[in-house]
């Protein structure tokens, strides 16, 4: 029982990371209706910023996170303006999707060029080691608790922002009907820019927590967690903010438990099978709403 | 929510397409390499005859990744070979003849490695010291086989690197590392219960693990947990570590590269799990990971053929010469393999009485026999001998990390 609890806590820890990444994914998808495949690489850029500020320049972690948030926000908004906006009117949604994959490779290779291929060891931004239960048998790491707390905070913040502010209302309107929103006097370009700014800032925070939990940094650090978080977002219902949180946690727990009780080699196969099953059985995910198309 | 399913469907299709393209990419490279092989095989015969009559000096070619991701390995081999050749020339050469050395870059790419081989052949190479990495070595060995050119790879550890009788190696093969590790753990009674974490998607890692598992049965310790990971899933090792911990493993064998090992050490530390960690040559380099907290690696053992801290005269002189010549850089095991490789070539030349005016094929025939008769006291072991299969016999050294530096284990 105790070992099951230990594995469960590992699952929560991995799931909380997926959840925080999936929040950024789902936010951008929900409003801009595009899958930003470069999200994982924004995370990686954020990690390198923190690494440079904290480990190379020796400044406190808070400074690193602030710089990373600013850099990622600028990067996200610029990417949107340069690479995605010109394609927004394209006849096929595939155009912008392929561009996103291109941006992802561009960022990875740029990082390879600037920071090199060598693995860098990341210093955790969280110094708290966590709590120990059951006489030292069960340990919950500080970074796991902080990640879950931060995910919940972000969840509440996003819900309040979207439902209570003018900009949030504009986002909802844009997500429902871009044409009608324009007619109602909403600046669609500005709204989508704000969405990307928030999504990218979340990527920087997710990066700080990802690399604190798994302290190894390469130009490909963000790629796989990014894809897993995408699966988590689909599982929870892509576009749904609470769905991303639930999807991330569920996916992390499934991954760790399948690795424990089925096979350590097959866990990825199981995770992606879940994606396929969800798409077949309930394409809208756990919390996704099925909206009828009106003519 | 228009086009909802369509977008997701397209996304998946796109992801799969990218995956397939990636797959095709590597196959295509393979194809080019093979066709290249076929092309140059035809022209090789002329080159072999034209260089035969030059005479005067021996020409040794080095192929390795001098730039790119594995540049540290390639440049170490080229640098150390230069040191060995300079020493030999100063002491009167090989069999009385001076030696010339030329290094070509393959950027860790098997096609470029074959190109580099052809460049060196045009230069008049009679002995090949290379390639440095397994994949490139295997590609080049197809060429050396056709030309009957003597090939000695300093560090290509895959079994297939020496599958032809003209190819030999200085380093241990992958299976030999697993066997030697198991023997070391058994002989020194390091543990009764051993856990293993290995990369099932990597030939090196799974090759070492398999021979380790086979030999473990003869060594009186038990493998209580053997957990794998794959190259796509190498960030979270909590399950693998927890299983080893639950099974009571006192030693965890890590036949993997130092990049993943640094994460495993960090995660074991947060779990308060402190077994002895034991690695192979892929672990060499863990102390140089940028910003790595070296206290995590305290007590880590690794089986490596070479330690720059060894106090024997040969090592001390070599390390000093290397540091003096290359701006204080400390030589690694690749450098040591390369240095021993040059001396092995020297010993075999003198044993067989080879002279530079012989044809490449005659040289190779002489070397093949002589290699099995020589014994070299080198940096990577004393009394290294070879058998006709191209495998060396030598004594591995275990190194332990103490106070953030490598030290010889007793």
Neighboring chain A residues of B14 at a CB cutoff of 8 Å: 94, 97-98, 101
Helix (H) or strand (E) holding B20, with range, is helix B4-50
The strand pair at B57-64 and B127-130 is best described as parallel
The verdict on B139 and B218 lying in the same domain is: no
Q: Do residues B239 and A7 touch, judged by C-beta distance below 8 A?
A: yes
Give residues with Cβ within 8 angstroms of A32, minimum separation 6: A80, A84, A174, A192, A195, A196
Quick one: B320 and B283 in the same domain? no
Specify if B379 maps to a domain: yes
Facing A214 at nearest CB: one of B1, B18, B236: B236
Q: Report yes or no: A291 and A177 within 8 Å, Cβ to Cβ.
A: no
Q: Is B247 an interface residue toward A (CB < 8 Å)?
A: no
Q: Judge: A256–B238 Cβ closer than 8 Å, yes or no.
A: yes
Are residues B59 and B135 located together in one domain of the fold?
yes
Total structural domains in chain B? 2
B5 within some domain: no
Asked if B184 and B247 sit in the same domain, the reply is yes
Residue of chain B with shortest Cα separation from A257? B239
CB contact under 8 A, B7 and A121: no
A218 vs B259: CB contact, 8 Å cut-off? Answer: yes
Q: Are strands B385-386 and B392-393 parallel, antiparallel or unpaired?
A: antiparallel
Q: Which of B384, B360, B373, B352 is nearest to B151 (CA)?
A: B360
* Whether residue B320 is found in the same domain as residue B297: no
**For residue range B113-155, what is the model confidence (pLDDT) as tens digits?**
999 999 999 999 999 998 998 889 999 999 999 999 999 999 9
Alpha-carbon distance of B274 to B277, in angstroms, equals 8
Which of B18, B239, B293 is the best mutation test for A, with the most CBs of A within 10 A? B239
Chain A contact present for B4, CB below 8 A: yes
Question: B290 and B199, same structural domain?
Answer: yes
Judged by CB atoms closer than 8 Å, whether chains meet at A119 and B259 is answered as yes
Residue B84 near residue B379 (C-beta atoms within 8 A)? no
B144 and B116 housed in the same domain? yes
Contact A121 B289 (CB under 8 A): yes
Residue B39, pLDDT score: 42
Q: Per-residue pLDDT for chain B (410 aa), expressed as one digit of tens each?
A: 445 555 555 555 555 555 444 444 333 333 433 444 444 444 444 444 334 334 589 999 999 988 766 777 888 999 999 999 999 999 999 999 999 999 999 888 889 999 999 999 999 999 999 899 888 999 999 999 999 999 999 998 888 899 999 999 999 888 888 998 999 999 888 899 999 999 988 878 888 999 999 999 899 899 999 999 987 788 889 899 999 998 999 999 999 988 889 889 999 988 889 999 999 888 877 887 778 888 888 999 988 888 787 778 899 999 999 999 998 888 888 999 999 999 999 999 999 999 999 999 999 999 999 999 999 999 988 889 999 999 998 887 788 888 888 887 76
Flag if B289 and A289 touch (Cβ within 8 Å): no
- Token output for A157: 């913040």
**pLDDT for the residue numbered A264:** 81
Whether B199 and B295 map to the same domain: the answer is yes
CA of A94 vs chain B CAs: smallest distance (Å): 7
Best of A211, A214, A233 to substitute, by most chain B Cβ atoms within 10 angstroms, is A214
Cβ-Cβ contacts under 8 Å, B272 against chain A: 136, 139
Domain range for B357: 52-172+313-394
On whether residue B26 sits in a domain, the answer given is no
The neighbouring-strand residues paired with B61 are B102, B128
Q: Does B69 touch chain A (CB under 8 A)?
A: yes
CATH number at residue B64: 3.40.50.2300
Task: Please report whether residue B234 resides in a domain.
Answer: yes
Pick from B233, B272, B292: which is nearest to A267 by CB?
B233
- pTM: predicted TM-score of the whole model, two decimal places: 0.75
Confidence of residue A207 (pLDDT cuts 50, 70, 90): very high
DSSP string, B219-283: TT-EEEEEEEE-TTS-S--HHHHHHHHHTT-SEEEE-S-HHHHHHHHHHHHHTT---EEEE-GGG
Do B76 and B143 share a domain, yes or no? yes
pLDDT digit string, tens, across residues B156-197: 888 889 999 999 999 988 888 899 899 999 988 889 999 999
Q: Which of B253, B280, B304 is the last residue of a domain?
A: B304
Domain end point (choices B239, B269, B304): B304
Please report the pLDDT score of residue B135 as a whole number: 87
Q: Where are the alpha helices (DSSP H) in B51-133?
A: 71-90, 110-123
Backbone angles phi and psi of A248, in degrees to 5: -60, -50
Q: What percentage of chain A reaches a pLDDT higher than 90? A: 40
Calculate how close chain B gets to A277, using CA atoms only, in Å: 13
């Amino acid at each position: 029982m105790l070992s099951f609890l230990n594995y469960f806590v590992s699952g929560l820890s991995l799931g909380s990371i997926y959840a925080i990444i999936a929040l950024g994914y789902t936010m951008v998808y929900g409003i801009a209706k595009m899958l930003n495949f470069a999200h994982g690489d924004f995370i990686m850029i954020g990690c390198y910023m923190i690494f440079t500020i904290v480990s190379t320049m020796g400044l406190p972690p808070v400074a690193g996170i602030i710089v990373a948030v600013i850099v990622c926000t600028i990067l996200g908004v610029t990417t949107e303006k340069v690479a995605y906006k010109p394609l927004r009117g394209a006849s096929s949604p595939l155009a912008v999707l392929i561009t996103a994959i291109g941006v992802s490779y561009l960022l990875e290779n740029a990082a390879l060029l600037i920071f090199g291929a060598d693995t860098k060891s990341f210093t955790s931004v969280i110094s708290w080691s966590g709590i120990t239960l059951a006489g030292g048998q069960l340990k919950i790491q500080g970074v796991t608790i902080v990640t879950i707390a931060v995910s919940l905070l972000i969840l509440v913040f996003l819900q309040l922002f979207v439902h209570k502010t003018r900009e949030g209302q504009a986002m909802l309107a844009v997500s429902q009907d871009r044409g009608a929103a324009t007619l109602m006097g909403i600046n669609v370009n500005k709204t989508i820019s704000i969405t990307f700014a928030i999504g990218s800032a979340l990527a920087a925070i997710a990066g700080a927590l990802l690399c604190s939990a798994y302290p190894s940094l390469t130009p490909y650090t963000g790629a796989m967690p990014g894809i897993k978080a995408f699966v988590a977002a689909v599982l929870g219902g892509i576009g749904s903010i609470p769905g991303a949180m639930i999807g991330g946690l569920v996916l992390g727990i499934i991954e760790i438990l399948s690795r424990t009780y089925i096979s350590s080699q097959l866990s990825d196969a199981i995770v992606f099978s879940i994606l396929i099953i969800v798409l077949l059985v309930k394409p809208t995910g756990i919390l996704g709403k099925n909206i009828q198309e009106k003519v | 929510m228009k086009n909802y399913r369509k977008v997701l469907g397209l996304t998946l299709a796109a992801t799969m397409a990218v995956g397939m393209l990636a797959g095709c990419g590597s196959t295509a490279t393979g194809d080019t390499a093979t066709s290249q092989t076929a092309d140059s095989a035809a022209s090789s015969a002329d080159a072999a005859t034209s260089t035969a009559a030059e005479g005067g000096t021996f020409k040794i070619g080095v192929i390795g990744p001098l730039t790119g991701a594995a540049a540290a390995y390639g440049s170490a081999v080229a640098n150390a070979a230069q040191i060995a050749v300079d020493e030999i020339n100063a002491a009167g050469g090989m069999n009385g003849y001076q030696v010339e050395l030329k290094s070509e870059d393959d950027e860790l790419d098997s096609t470029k490695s074959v190109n580099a081989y052809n460049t060196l052949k045009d230069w008049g190479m009679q002995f090949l010291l290379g390639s440095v990495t397994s994949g490139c070595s295997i590609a080049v060995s197809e060429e050396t086989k056709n030309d009957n050119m003597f090939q000695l790879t300093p560090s290509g550890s895959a079994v297939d690197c020496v599958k032809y009788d003209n190819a030999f190696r200085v380093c241990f093969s992958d299976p030999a590392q697993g066997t030697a590790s198991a023997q070391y753990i058994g002989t020194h009674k390091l543990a009764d219960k051993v856990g293993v974490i290995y990369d099932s998607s990597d030939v090196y890692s799974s090759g070492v693990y398999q021979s380790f598992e086979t030999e473990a049965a003869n060594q009186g310790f038990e493998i209580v947990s053997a957990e794998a990971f794959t190259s796509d899933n190498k960030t979270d090792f909590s399950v693998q570590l927890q299983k080893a911990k639950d099974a009571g493993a006192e030693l965890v064998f890590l036949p993997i590269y130092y990049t993943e090992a640094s994460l495993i050490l960090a995660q074991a530390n947060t779990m308060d799990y402190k077994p002895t960690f034991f690695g192979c040559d892929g672990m060499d380099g863990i102390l140089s990971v940028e910003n790595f907290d070296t206290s995590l690696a305290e007590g880590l053992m690794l089986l490596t053929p070479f330690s720059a801290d060894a106090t024997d005269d040969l090592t001390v002189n070599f390390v000093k010469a290397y540091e003096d010549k290359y701006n204080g850089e400390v030589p690694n095991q690749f450098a040591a393999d390369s240095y021993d490789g040059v001396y092995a070539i020297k010993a075999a030349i003198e044993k067989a009485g080879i002279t530079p005016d012989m044809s490449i094929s005659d040289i190779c025939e002489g070397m093949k026999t002589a290699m099995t008769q020589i014994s070299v006291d080198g940096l990577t072991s004393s009394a290294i001998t070879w058998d006709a299969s191209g495998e060396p016999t030598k004594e591995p050294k275990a190194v332990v990390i103490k106070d953030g530096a490598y030290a010889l284990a007793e």
